[in-house]
Amino acid sequence: MNHQSAQARWERHTQRPLLALAVAFTVAYAVPIVDHSAGHSLTYACTVVEWVVWAAFAVDYLMRLALAPRRGEFVRTHWVDLCAVVLPLLQPLRLLRMVSTLLLVGRRARMASQIRLTTYVAGAVIGLLMFGSLAVLSVERDSPNGNIRTLGDAVWWSFTTMTTVGYGDHAPTTGLGRMIAVGLMLSGIALLGVVTANIAAWFIARFEKDDVEERRQTEAIAALAEEVRLLRAEVARLADEREQQRS
């Protein structure tokens, strides 16, 4: 119980600092891509920030593992966190650091009970649009046959890809860009399913609430009608007794 309490306290206290670090990672990841003419020193500083953020999430995972009462079960149930921590070490690409940070932020955000599903979905949509745009721009801008050259083109492509519209005016030409497209399409379909299910659940809950209220009112009316019937029967009985006493 003490270990569980310590783990819960750690997760509660580190949630906001880790989200702030994720914002710092977003800025560090975006600056060299948006500012293609950034100097070596600025690019190096952004890379350092990205690795520092990843290291913070790695330390967070190790601390949660150390505080877990059953570490084997923790590793089995948090295997996505483990993959996100190990992924950048296997191949130190900036895109993989971005993917691992997205996974870790998402996992930690889902632990927060105060974050509603709608807020989480909205944040996921914005995050995927932003990182998808930056990622595809970083790999497609220098491609000889690429047609995604500006941030505006990348944002438009990400939006049409996530909504599965696919106008075709912009499309990735590299293998990595197409992998990003597949990820965005699958994420868009999944988020659309979550939103649809959430809306349907809201309507069902409203209908069930209305049905319960209607049944309650019907039962109350039936009970009132029964009381009126009994009252009439009692009045009729008293009237009969009075007539009998007079006669």
Residue 110 has pLDDT above 70, yes or no: no
Contact in structure between 132 and 184 (CB atoms under 8 Å): yes
CA atoms within 13 A on the CB side of 205: 6
> In terms of DSSP H, where are the helices of 150-174?
151-162
Contact in structure between 46 and 32 (CB atoms under 8 Å): yes
The percent of residues in the chain predicted with pLDDT above 90, rounded, is 0
Q: What is the mean pLDDT of residues 25-54?
A: 81
Helix (H) or strand (E) holding 193: helix 175-246
pLDDT recorded at residue 84: 67
Residue 113 has pLDDT above 50, yes or no: no
The pLDDT-based confidence of 106 (bands split at 50, 70, 90) is low
Cα separation of 141 and 150, whole Å? Answer: 7
pTM for the model stands at 0.56
Neighbours of 164 (CB within 10 A): 12
The pLDDT-based confidence of 78 (bands split at 50, 70, 90) is confident
Could you tell me which residues come within 8 angstroms of residue 167 by beta carbon, excluding any fewer than 6 positions away?
160
Q: What is the mean pLDDT of residues 120-145?
A: 80
Residue 128 has pLDDT above 60, yes or no: yes
Residues composing the chain: 247
Cα separation of 82 and 59, whole Å? Answer: 11
The percent of residues in the chain predicted with pLDDT above 70, rounded, is 83
pLDDT recorded at residue 138: 83
Both tokens assigned to 116: 């509603």
